[in-house]
Amino acid sequence: MEVLAPADHHVLSVEALSLVAMLQRELGPQRAELLSRRQEHRGLPDFLPETRSVREGDWQVAPPPQDLLDRRVEITGPVDRKMMINALNSGARVFMADFEDSCSPTWQNIVEGQQNLIDAVRGTISFDTAEKSYRLAEKTATLVVRPRGWHLQERHVLIDGEPISASLFDFGLACFHNAAELLERGSGPYYYLPKLESHLEARLWNSAFELAEGQLGLPRASIRATVLIETILAAFEMNEILWELRERSAGLNAGRWDYIFSAIKKVGAVLPDRAQVTMTVPFMRAYTELLVATCHKRGAHAIGGMAAFIPSRRDPEVNEAALEKVRDDKVRESADGFDGTWVAHPDLVPVATEVFDGVVGAKANQVDRTRDDVSVTPEQLLDFEIDGGAVTGDGLRTNVSVGVRYLDAWLNGVGAAAIDNLMEDVATAEISRAQVWSWVDAGHFDAARVRDEVSRIEASPTAKEVFEEVALARHFVEFLTLPAYDRLV
């Protein structure tokens, strides 16, 4: 093993690195095989005939641990020290500490993020500025960690001469340092799993959890995982994903922004302006209803999507209109049977909590509310027609602006960027560049028009270069973070 950059010897101890090395050696070949399968063209997705018995079988996942029974509001954010304290103190039931879409994976961010987790789990995390001191409150949110996706590598650590899987690196370090401590404190090692495209990728995660439990002497199935259904391929395998993780499954989450990106990338959907692709359009409605029905049939939590609005204390009119949209979104989710929802900012926790309190009430969740009325077909999941939808110059301008400015922030080490009163992350930047690519490919705009829009944005030349590379490539670039990571310091 080689560590190619300076790092804290406590975080990257010999014992911790031996765990991640074991995971990489045991699971690296399977990971490589599954990533190569992603490149195989299979036509339009469908429910798998070979797993029909799983979909039609009568089974349920293991009951949730006590501190994941009530997940009515979850807040998310990167593993930045101050942000973690504010999120844990926010009043949300769960905090997802994110090494993925809202974290720019500079080596410093990743290593410091692991130290921040260690301190947060032990209740010692603090942050001081000239104006204010930040400390944990007596009651804090349940901690869940999101490692990076299977497609990403951590180039600063080599195992047998090859970069380690970023997923196994993030998970391995977090589990090594914190799993036993969390269990001793009455919680547990809980994870969110991003970007899965099949139940086989969930099976690989289950293997990682089994190996870690064995290596660290943890109780069997003490590791629990919630899977983000944020690819259109995974939407066709929700039952199978829950089945693969069944003794460790803590539910599914509707990762709405990446899901839209995936529809463009995987099945060639040419969608109208991003603002018109709401949660009530046919393919998004089908996906979320199927998610709730699937989860509740299997005794699992269904967690709703992100409210990305950032309240502004300087513009009450903007606030009022945006908060009303947030409220409407959460009313729809709670009425559909979701057990909880996501927000990006502490000021949205009260709004979301009030809505879910009104539906869930004194109960911990709505898992007992089966959606027997829901029957979703492959055609409904692939229905991308949007009444009145249009591709406009304003839509192009917005996508270019958001995509370039977000990349500029990401390349400077900021993964959660406030842009035009919204918290943008990699997922929303992916929608922006994917829509531009699909619109150019479909003939709505030409490359010269896109480059002209890019030239008008105040951002670094590198950010503009990366955006043009991923938005105007001849063949669709799988993830913008892959070429962007090569330019990250």
Architecture of the structural domain at 393-486: Up-down Bundle (1.20)
Q: Is 28 exposed, middle or buried (0-12, 13-18, 19+ CB in 10 A)?
A: middle
Give percent of the chain above pLDDT 70: 100
> What pLDDT is stored for residue 318 in this prediction?
82
Of the residues 71, 93, 146, 224, only one is catalytic, namely 146
**DSSP reduced 3-state for 146:** strand
- Residue 426 and residue 374 in contact, taking contact as beta carbons nearer than 8 Å: no
Matching CATH number, 2-380, of 3.20.20.60, 3.40.50.1370, 3.40.309.10, 3.20.20.360: 3.20.20.360
HSE, side-chain direction, 13 A CA sphere, residue 350? 3
> What pLDDT is stored for residue 37 in this prediction?
96
CA–CA separation, 251 and 264 (whole Å): 26
CA–CA separation, 16 and 131 (whole Å): 37
> What pLDDT is stored for residue 263 in this prediction?
98
Helices 256-267 and 282-297: crossing angle, nearest 10°? Answer: 120
CA–CA separation, 294 and 198 (whole Å): 16
Backbone angles phi, psi at 161, to 5 degrees: 85, -5
Of the residues 67, 248, 425, 433, only one is catalytic, namely 425
Can you spell out the DSSP letters for 440-454? HHTTSS-HHHHHHHH
Q: Would you give per-residue pLDDT tens digits along the chain (489 residues)?
A: 999 999 999 999 999 999 999 999 999 999 999 999 999 877 899 999 999 999 999 999 999 999 999 999 999 999 999 999 999 999 999 999 999 999 999 999 999 999 999 999 999 999 999 999 999 999 999 999 999 999 999 999 999 999 999 999 999 999 999 999 999 999 999 999 999 999 999 999 999 999 999 999 999 999 999 999 999 999 999 999 999 999 999 999 999 999 999 999 999 999 999 999 999 999 999 999 999 999 999 999 999 999 878 887 778 888 888 899 899 999 999 999 999 999 999 999 999 999 999 999 999 999 999 999 999 999 999 999 999 999 999 999 999 999 999 999 999 999 999 998 888 999 999 999 999 999 999 999 999 999 999 999 999 999 999 999 999 999 999 999 999 999 998
- Residue 270 and residue 237 in contact, taking contact as beta carbons nearer than 8 Å: no
Place of tokens 């502004």: 312
pLDDT in tens, 35-57: 999 998 778 999 999 999 999 99
Q: Where are the domains of the chain?
A: 2-380, 393-486
Clarify whether 146 is annotated catalytic.
yes
Clarify whether 433 is annotated catalytic.
no
> What pLDDT is stored for residue 315 in this prediction?
82
> What pLDDT is stored for residue 422 in this prediction?
86
Tally of CB atoms within 10 A around 133:
9
Going from the C-alpha of 6 to that of each of 13, 42, 108, 170, 187, the distances in angstroms are 12, 44, 9, 17, 32
Element (H, E) at 97: strand 94-98
Can you spell out the DSSP letters for 39-95? TS--SS----GGGHHHHHS---PPPPPGGGS--SEEEEEES-HHHHHHHHTSS-SEE
Place of tokens 């709405």: 256
Helices 393-411 and 426-441: crossing angle, nearest 10°? Answer: 140
Our separate counts of H helices and E strands in the chain read 18, 15
> What pLDDT is stored for residue 421 in this prediction?
84
